[in-house]
Structure 1
Amino acid sequence: MSPRSVSLIGSTGSIGTQALDVIGRNRDRFTVTAISAGSNVDLVARQAVDFDVPLVALASGSVEDVRSAIGAYAAGLGRGSHALRGPAYAPEIVVGDGAAVTAAGNGADVVLNGITGSIGLRPTLAALAAGSTLALANKESLIIGGDLVKRAAKPDQIVPVDSEHSAIAQALRGGRAEEVRRLVVTASGGPFRGRTRAELADVTPEQALAHPNFSMGRVITTNSATLVNKGLEVIEAHLLFDIPFDRIDVVVHPQQQIHSMVEFRDGSTIAQLGPPRMLVPIALGLSWPDRLDDIDEPCDWSLTQSWDFAPLDDEAFPAVRLARQVGEAGGTYPAVYNAANEVAVDAFHDGRIGFLDIVDSVERVVEAHADAHTGSEFDASTVDGVLAADAWARGQAATELGI
């Protein structure tokens, strides 16, 4: 069987670097045909040379800078590199706003979209249009794109990479769709699990970034603290698996050994277990429906251990409740929820607002959208309409926050 070709969108981020780790351990199974990143020229150059990548895309910088960095890294490798191509290695280099779209649409067998935020929408659509399997870690593109993305996707063309949705996809192998009673999405509860709303008033950005289990970027880590991330995951689960919102539950599970569960109508529940890391979901995104060998360490059942579960406190953490509302409203409401949150997270880390103001301001922007979204410019069936709603929400959030 010939190796599966892979294009990595966001190759220098957490998802992308872990994906290259998986690929590096399975070079007989995968080849990297394109990588795309933001501005980290040096790391992109190392990745390009190490994996002999034909297409290198960068959102900012210059072609000359990328080529120079590649040449310098290749020249300095010296002896023994299995991937060193020396002066003969001259990849195609694309730089600019459309670089990620070019990389995503290059026709690879698998496109792993691992960037964060609404900028992932166009690469997601490019990958689907090219007929590639989309390994989706960029949940925002599905959430804001909604039916637009679903219409673009062929059956089984999207493979979820979020650990929760990967867990659900794995568990769903144990039964037919019509046998599913509900999905149970687990949440760590973040660094502020168990605190009341009053106790959250004075938390700092540094405390919000102290996630108990995962090391992630600023936006995702903050979203885990507010539980906005879990709200987004509820919308994502609805879109991926066509389960109504009233049959998608969230339960707090601090240890994050169970990544999510599927309850069937006979009363049985199938859960997917594993360490609180992303290696297995990433590997499955690349190899689906097959599994690779020895990707991560399994649970050690020889150890005495206990796992806890608790209901979600909607008063202290209203983000999930709000996400259900915008998900049920559909249209461009999820795009507004996501965009307003990104603005509020930046304002929080800039010291302009408090922690509780993040979700409170998002809710105000969502409410304002009820009056504004009737305009034809907010057409959820087009990319321009979705991105217009995204831009409107960012401006409205800035107005709400006085920034």
Structure 2
Amino acid sequence: MRHARALVGGLAATTTLFAASLPASASASSGQAPDVRLLDTISVPVGGTELGMPFGGLSGIDYDPGSGTYVAVSDDRSENGKARFYTLRLPLAGGAFAGSAPDVESLSVLADTDGAPFAAKTVDPEAIRFTPGARSVLWTSEGASSAGKPAFVREATTSGGYVTELPLPSAYAPVRSASGTLTAGVRNNQALEGLTLSPDGGKAVTITENALVQDGPAASLVAKSPSRLLVTDRRTGEPVAERVYEVDPISDAPTAPLPPPVNTYSADRGVSEILAINETDYLTVERSFASGVGFAIRVYWTSTLGATDVRGEEALSGTETPMTKKLLFDFTTTGADADNVEGITWGPTLPDGSRSLVLVADDNFGFNGSTTKFHLLSVRSGLLAARTPDVNGDGVVDARDLAAIPTAGRAGDLDGNGRTNAKDIRLWLTYTKKFPTA
């Protein structure tokens, strides 16, 4: 009872401290702009070349605010050209793209551990991120589980040279039976599609597109799939945490076969990218596809708070508490054709103070009618916290965090503006209303 009275007293003091500076409209929500809006899209015709190689297959993108440039990786398996990434610009004019195409500045060929470009079909680049200060890049390869080639996370110089590789837990390694059936590890072509860095840049965060073979089924029309989110310390290479993220069922059944030479009906769903919001919260892109129907692209807000840490587990038991998630943006409601979205990054702050998101769609080098697209979204200011609402770091979001904000220093600066004030209180309250995790 004494503890309860002390907590209530602390909350009362917090409210009194900031009451004078809270605007009268703080609790009003009527007339508020949508949380996330699609502002603009540009498309790049299929079949073009840039700097001597086909421009396509863009599967990951990241923005460096220091230089104003983006880095985008192609998922070319060294078949149409060398495995590579591009440095490009996407200038904005107000709330739209300033041009009708990206300004490609450079092309960097990725090197294998021996310093030479990758041989054909030995790599499958999928995601890329700048390291702090854009001194280098991290990138992932899905590998080829069907051929026994493991997925990996590597660091490269900005010119593509090999630097180092971050180890993956043994549970991710592909294991095949004598007959060639995959019995454990990442699924073929459903491995490390997603990569992001922690806000301080010290941790690499990856997510599998679907469940490891031993963990559960791939997503189907009726079943979710328990993917794994892995947090790795970049300095030591040690896993820091691992959580379960449930991929939703496939959105639509196929209505027609894929074009030749495939000629089969196809449908799938998986996580195609992840982006850090703060230490505990992320955006995920879930891409659902059905032949004859097309793509359904949705962006989710998800959190590790309250989710079971499965670090070191070779297989899931099915009793784990997965990450909380909430649908934040659904392309299917816009009337726009999102296409094969595989990359997402924070972009520049927009003139109205909202934060921009830039997404890229992979054209699959023209297969099945896909086109390279860049989408510009705006995220309403004050929706997402730059620092975790778990202010006291006890793993849950509750009244103790609200009470701690005034004296928590940097941890209490939820909006990241360098000050702890009423805006942080308001953001915490908005968070617990919009996305309850306690």
**Is the TM value for this pair above 0.5?**
no
TM-score by length of structure 1 reads 0.28
Q: Per residue, is there more strand in 1 or in 2?
A: 2
Q: Per residue, is there more helix in 1 or in 2?
A: 1
TM-score by length of structure 2 reads 0.26
